[in-house]
Structure 1
Amino acid sequence: MKVDRIETIHVLPRWLFLKVHTDVGIVGLGEATLEGRSLTVETAVKEIERYLVGKNPLEIEKHWQTIYRGTFYRNGPVLSSALSGVEQALWDILGKHLNVPVYQLLGGKVRDKIRMYGWVSGEKTGSYVEDFKASVADGKFTAYKTCPVPACQAIESPAVMKQVVDNVRALREAAKSHVDIGVDFHGRCTPALSKRLCKKLEQFDLMFVEEPVLPGDVDAMKDISRSTSIPIAAGERLFTRWQFQELIEKQAVAIIQPDVSHCGGIMECRKIAAMAEARNIALAPHCPLGPIALASAIQVDACTPNFLCQEQLTLGEGYLKKPFVVQDGYVQVPDGPGLGIELNEQYIDTKCFAGDWETPLFHLPDGSLTEW
């Protein structure tokens, strides 16, 4: 079996799907979405294609090492996302070739179902609390994440901090005690501001606070972790095990959040999780992306002992022939070969676009740019 070509497809709302075609008819699915830069990633995928065409797709580790190390320059969101999407597709091919799920090839599942968490708006007051109550009442999810932190200045006013606290309080009061709530700071806060906010939010028994500071300052992350009883989560903007190493070794977080479409792919995510397991750090993969990325993450979740909870933006409704189904907060581990999914090609044809999705820009009152 040899790789024949790589096909890329930009799919609304902002996703980049890819298909690795082989000369025996097996097609592997991957997702290399990088918000606001998917056209650039597509170019990187085409550069990978030049190497991969004619090669045996089953030699996944060999290809990963060659693509990652062979061009001198490593890491970064573009190259890592392109590699991640291609690597997912190679695992899909191997699973389909052997007629087993990917998780079986990674040692077999350690759980029968995967806990998922939903999203709830929290940046503005309004109907979001009622929407949250309705969602909790229907029993679909038992965990949610919200982002109540607005575009921030280095040190914010008491009024802004009070609004953040009030929004989280409204959700906590609306939820039953078995419902977990995570709060995403989205890297919008300085370490000083995050410390103040975490202290005020401790009363709500949060599942975690995510990205209290921007990636890269591990010492600040560790300092925040030591200053609060709330578990700290981070890692969505880190690439490969080497960038996760310091975060894990210093135990700067309680939860790591590699993104299977950015960190290097399925096996790399599993390796990062194993590193974290040795430091008693939980895994909650980042995935505000499409259904192929979610399917890839679920394969990792199924075979990873220190897995905690899985983010999702879509369960694949419309995009997949058989979307994932959440019941009592969980989806069953899929038993189909490869990633265990089939695309609904007719529906996807109606969702194709040019790939020119723009990252939203956030500004402070003085007109200066701040974090998304």
Structure 2
Amino acid sequence: MEVTDYELFEVPPRWLFLRLETSDGTVGWGEPVVEGRAHTVRAAVEELLDGYLLGEDPLRIEDHWQALYRGGFYRGGPVLMSAIAGIDQALWDIKGKHFGAPVYELLGGKARDRIRVYQWIGGDRPADVGEAAREQVEAGFTALKMNATPELERVDSPAKIRQAEQRLAEVREAVGEDVDVGVDFHGRVAKPMAKRLVAALEPYEPMFVEEPVLPEHNDALPEIAAHTTTPIATGERMYSRWDFKEVFESGAVDVIQPDLSHAGGITEVKKIASMAEAYDVALAPHCPLGPVALASCVQVDACTPNALIQEQSLDIHYNETSDVLDYLADPSVFEYEDGYVELPERPGLGIDIDEEVVRERAGEVNWHNPVWRHDDGSVAEW
């Protein structure tokens, strides 16, 4: 068996799907994308597949990962690692189908029967969070996540701190103490404000504060962690186990959030998760993406003892034109019950992509995140 062909589909709202086919007709799916850079990652995938993988045995996944990564003098970063991630997902999908087993069975077997999921509320500039939180809890979710703030100045006013505090207080009042609420700083907050904000939010007991500073400032995490007992989470903009070394060794991070479509795919994230376990750090994969990315996450969650919770993007504010379930022949695989999703039992990634819908909706996707500016006209972090 060898890899014989591939197709790439840009689909709304902002995803890129890879269809990989072998000589015996087996098809595997991957989701290699950097949101807002789909064209760039597409070119990287084509370069890797045309230059290396076509004609190769798809079952040698570890060897292929090493060749795709180490075969280039320049390594890492979001574009290359996302391209590798989508290819890796498709190879695992093929391998699972070849052996008639879910991917998690090939990675050691189940460590659980289901994985908890959380639901987003509030949008990019968080608003109306109390009512949204109440609605999602009534829909069955037991964990939520919200942005902490809109854009912030490097040193901003006490009023901005109070507004963030009031939003979280509103959610806590709406849902009580039995519901977990993650608070995402989204890299919008500079170190001086992060120290103040984590302290202000602590009385409302967030499940975690996420990406309190950008990853290029991970050296500030120990100082920020010293201002709170709230768990610190980060990792969605970190792309390999080498990127995670520093945060593990610092002892400042309690939850890591690698993205299965950005951090080298199933092969690499499973290794990152095992490193995290050795440092007593939980795994909560980042996934504001489509069904292939989510299915890949669930496969890793299934066989990872330190997996805590799974992000998913159903009804997220980005998905205005298409949603996760639209591209599945059987959407029931992602039915959420009591705040959990059951592990899939079908071979490979456990999902059936509806190719007709993919081909019908495929075209040039021109999603880009907004460019925000401060009152003085300077560019703000989004």
Give the alignment's TM-score, normalised by structure 2. Answer: 0.95
CA contact (8 A) 1:75 1:240 kept: yes
- The yes-or-no answer on 1:53 pairing with 2:63 is no
SS at match of 2:108: coil
Aligned counterpart in structure 2 of residue 343 of structure 1, from 329, 337, 353: 353
Structure 1 CA distance for aligned equivalents of residues 264 and 226 of structure 2: 29
CA contact (8 A) 1:2 1:22 kept: yes
Q: Number of residues paired by the alignment?
A: 371
Displacement of 1:124 in angstroms is 5.2
Corresponding letter in the other structure for 1:318: D
The CA deviation string for residues 326-368 of structure 1, in whole angstroms up to 9 with x for no partner, is 0000010001000000012233234323032222111111111
- Name the residue aligned to 1:71: 72
The CA deviation string for residues 94-127 of structure 1, in whole angstroms up to 9 with x for no partner, is 0000000000010001000010000001665754
- Name the residue aligned to 1:317: 325
- Name the residue aligned to 2:379: 369
Given the superposition, is the C-alpha separation of residues 152 and 42 from structure 1 closer, same or farther in structure 2, using an over 3 Å criterion? same
- Name the residue aligned to 2:249: 249
SS at match of 2:215: coil
Displacement of 1:148 in angstroms is 2.8
- Name the residue aligned to 1:329: 339
- Name the residue aligned to 1:105: 106
CA contact (8 A) 2:129 2:170 kept: no
- The yes-or-no answer on 1:204 pairing with 2:212 is no
Structure 2 CA distance for aligned equivalents of residues 17 and 63 of structure 1: 20
- The yes-or-no answer on 1:356 pairing with 2:366 is yes
SS at match of 2:233: strand
CA contact (8 A) 2:122 2:132 kept: no
CA RMSD of aligned residues (A): 1.3
Corresponding letter in the other structure for 2:85: S
Q: How does 1:108-119 map to 2 (within 5 A)?
A: 108-119=109-120
- Name the residue aligned to 2:130: 129
Query: Which ranges in structure 1 are unaligned for 5 or more consecutive residues?
Result: none
CA contact (8 A) 2:125 2:147 kept: no
Corresponding letter in the other structure for 1:75: G
CA contact (8 A) 2:187 2:214 kept: yes
CA contact (8 A) 1:39 1:356 kept: no
CA contact (8 A) 2:13 2:365 kept: no
Corresponding letter in the other structure for 2:266: I
Query: Which ranges in structure 2 are unaligned for 5 or more consecutive residues?
Result: 315-322
Corresponding letter in the other structure for 2:55: G
CA contact (8 A) 2:17 2:29 kept: yes
Deviates more, 1:98-107 or 1:223-232: 223-232
The CA deviation string for residues 193-239 of structure 1, in whole angstroms up to 9 with x for no partner, is 00101111000011000000000223201221122111000000001
Q: How does 1:86-97 map to 2 (within 5 A)?
A: 86-97=87-98
Structure 1 CA distance for aligned equivalents of residues 150 and 125 of structure 2: 9
Corresponding letter in the other structure for 1:6: Y
SS at match of 2:362: coil
